[in-house]
Structure 1
Amino acid sequence: MGIRSHLDSNFDYEVVDEFYDHYTMMVESMEVMIIDLSKPNTYKRSIDELFRVFHNIKSASGFLEIEPMRRLSTFVEEVLEELRQKDKPISEETLNWLLQISDIFADWQEDIKNDNELTRVKYSLLKIPDLDDN
């Protein structure tokens, strides 16, 4: 049983469809927001919006009991909160890490769409980049 079948069997299909539609919009906007973190004039707006995206994914995936998604979005949200405190463009290392994170969330979008098991998170993504290296 894939993730979509699991969700449909445990939750109202309208709730699952609404989650998927919102999740898709958030995933599709991630990459642009991440790239904008490297620009001083868009940093503040992008970091706040990206934080909100991961917070929303954390909440929704917690409600739907999608544990890998909830755990990773919580982890990323904590890193983004630290970056919000720095209030300056991110390093290339952090940018690349966030782009890899967004790739996992995009993979999960496809997994839900195609009713596959969720793609496993690479262990290397759980290593936080040096946030002070700017």
Structure 2
Amino acid sequence: MAAAVARSGLRRMFAISDVAATSSRLFSISAFTPPSPPTPPPKADPSPNLFVSGLSKRTTTDGLREAFAKFGEVMHARVVTDRVTGFSKGFGFVRYASVEDASKGIEGMDGKFLDGWVIFAEYARPRPPPQMGEGTSQPQQSWGPPSGSWGAQ
């Protein structure tokens, strides 16, 4: 008898008709509006600085400089690397001597292969100013224990 009651209780608990009736009362499809798609950030103004993404883990700063030097005078090139592994994080920056050279660099390297990966080059956007947190007059230090923590007595 107890087994029969348990089976009927499970059937009742997992019955689709009960869930459908309950969910139709709780949610209305007509009231659902999908979120608006995110707007892409605006294109950066032309400048001699380029942002390069899609880099391989094997790409080095010298390799990035050599690839972009074919299109103009490269003043500075840098592949951003992971502090622990030393491998590329997949992006970097190239600075040309002029905006004209930078536009040639974009035309020549955007969508091309470098170290077996397709890379993308675009004008770099300026870094936004740092945001200060509410009520903090000094920036937080990123090393050591936080002030007033377990070490203070």
Q: Which structure shows the bigger proportion of residues in strand conformation? A: 2
TM-score for both structures, normalised by structure 2: 0.21
Give the alignment's TM-score, normalised by structure 1: 0.23
Which structure's residues are more often helix, by fraction?
1
